Amino acid sequence: MLHYLLSRIISLLLSLAVASLVIFFVIEIIPGDPASFMLGLNASPETIASLKAELGLDQTPLIRYFDWVSGLVVGDFGISYTYKVPISELVVDRIQVSLPLALYALLLSTAIAFPVGLIAASKRGGTADFGIMGFTQLGIAVPNFWFAMLLVLFFAINLRWFSAGGFSGWDAGFWYGIKSLTLPAIALALTQASILARVMRSALIDTLSQDYIRTARAKGLSQRRVLIKHALRNAMIPVLTILGLQFSFLLAGAIIIENVFFLPGLGRLIFQAIIQRDLIVVESVVMLMVFAVIVVNFLVDLTYAMVDPRLRRSG
Partner 1 sequence: MTLLSVSGLNVSINEEVILKDVEFIIDQGEVFGFVGESGSGKSMTALALMNLLPKGSDRTGQIILDGKNLIDLSEREMCSIRGRDIGMIFQEPMTALNPVMTIGNQVAETLIIHGGYSRSEAMTIAREKLARVEMPPNRFSPDLYPHEISGGQRQRVCIALAIALRPKILIADEPTTALDVSTQAQILDLLKLLVKEEQMSLLFITHDLAVIARMADRVAVMQTGRIVEMETTRELFQDMKHDYSKKLFAASNYIPETKTKTGGGSFLEVSDVYRAYKLPNRRILDKQNYNVAIRGVSFSIRKGESLGLVGESGCGKSTLSRTILGLDPLQKGRITVDGVEVISGRKMPHTLRKKMQVVFQDPFGSFNPRHKVGRLVAEPFHLLAESLSASEQRERVVTALLEVGLRETDVDKYIHEFSGGQRQRIAIARAMVIKPDLVILDEAVSALDVSIRAQILDLLNELQVQHNLSYLFISHDLTVVRAVTDRVLVMQGGKIIEEGRTDRIFDHPQHDYTKRLLQASPRIPTEWVTKETNQGYHTGKLSEKEFR
Partner 2 sequence: MRIPTQLLFGAFLSIFFLVLALVSLIWTPYPVEVLNISEKLKSPEWKYILGTDHFGRDILSMIMIGARTSISVALVAVGIGMLVGVPLGLAAAANRRSIFDDLIMRSNDLVFAFPSLVIAILITAVFGPSAFNAILAIGIFNIPVFARVSRGAALSLWTLEFIMAARVAGKGKTRISVEHILPNIINLLLVQGTIQFSLGILAEAGLSYIGLGAQPPTPSWGRMLADAQTLIYTNPRLAFIPGLAIVAMVLGLNMLGDGLRDYLDPRLRKVRQ
214 lines the binding site for partner 1 (CB under 8 A): yes
Q: How far is the CB of 227 from partner 1 (least distance, A)?
A: 13
DSSP the chain: -HHHHHHHHHHHHHHHHHHHHHHHIIIIITTS-HHHHHH-TT--HHHHHHHHHHHTTTS-HHHHHHHHHHHHHTT---B-TTT-SBHHHHHHHHHHHHHHHHHHHHHHHHHHHHHHHHHHHHTTTSHHHHHHHHHHHHHHHS-HHHHHHHHIIIIIIIS-SS-SS----GGG-HHHHHHHHHHHHHHHHHHHHHHHHHHHHHHHHHHHTSHHHHHHHHHT--HHHHIIIIIHHHHHHHHHHHHHHHHHHHHHHHHHHHHHTT--SHHHHHHHHHHTT-HHHHHHHHHHHHHHHHHHHHHHHHHHHHH-THHHH--
Binding mask 225-264 for partner 1 (x = CB under 8 A): x---xx--xx------------------------------
Which residues face 79 on adjacent strands? 86
Q: Which of 119, 152, 204, 235 binds partner 2 (CB under 8 A)?
A: 152
53 contact choice in partner 1, partner 2, none (CB below 5 to 8 Å, kind-dependent): none
Q: Which of 5, 19, 39, 221 binds partner 1 (CB under 8 A)?
A: 221
Q: Which of 32, 40, 45, 309 binds partner 1 (CB under 8 A)?
A: 309
293 contact choice in partner 2, partner 1, none (CB below 5 to 8 Å, kind-dependent): partner 2
Stretch that binds partner 2, among 70-78, 97-105, 114-122, 150-158 (CB under 8 A): 150-158
Q: How far is the CB of 172 from partner 2 (least distance, A)?
A: 25
Q: Answer positive or negative: Cα dihedral of 108, 112, 117, 118.
A: positive
Residue 118 or 190 with smaller CB distance to partner 2: 190
Stretch that binds partner 1, among 95-103, 223-231, 261-269, 293-301 (CB under 8 A): 223-231
45 contact choice in partner 1, partner 2, none (CB below 5 to 8 Å, kind-dependent): none
313 lines the binding site for partner 1 (CB under 8 A): yes
83 lines the binding site for partner 2 (CB under 8 A): no
Cβ–Cβ < 8 Å for 72, 283:
no
132 contact choice in partner 2, partner 1, none (CB below 5 to 8 Å, kind-dependent): none
From the CA atom positions of the chain, what is the Rg in Å? 24
Q: How far is the CB of 193 from partner 1 (least distance, A)?
A: 25
Closest to 206 in 3D by CA, of 243, 232, 245? 232
12 contact choice in partner 1, partner 2, none (CB below 5 to 8 Å, kind-dependent): none
223 lines the binding site for partner 1 (CB under 8 A): yes
In angstroms, the Cα distances linking 158 to 105, 146, 179, 242, 262 are 24, 17, 17, 35, 19
Interface ranges with partner 2 (CB under 8 A): 11, 14-15, 18-19, 22-23, 26-27, 30-31, 37, 137-138, 140-146, 149-150, 152-153, 157, 245, 248-249, 251-253, 255-256, 259-260, 270-271, 273-274, 277, 279, 282, 286, 289-290, 293-294, 297
Q: Which residues bind partner 1 (CB under 8 A)?
A: 3, 6-7, 10, 210-212, 214-223, 225, 229-230, 233-234, 307-310, 313-315
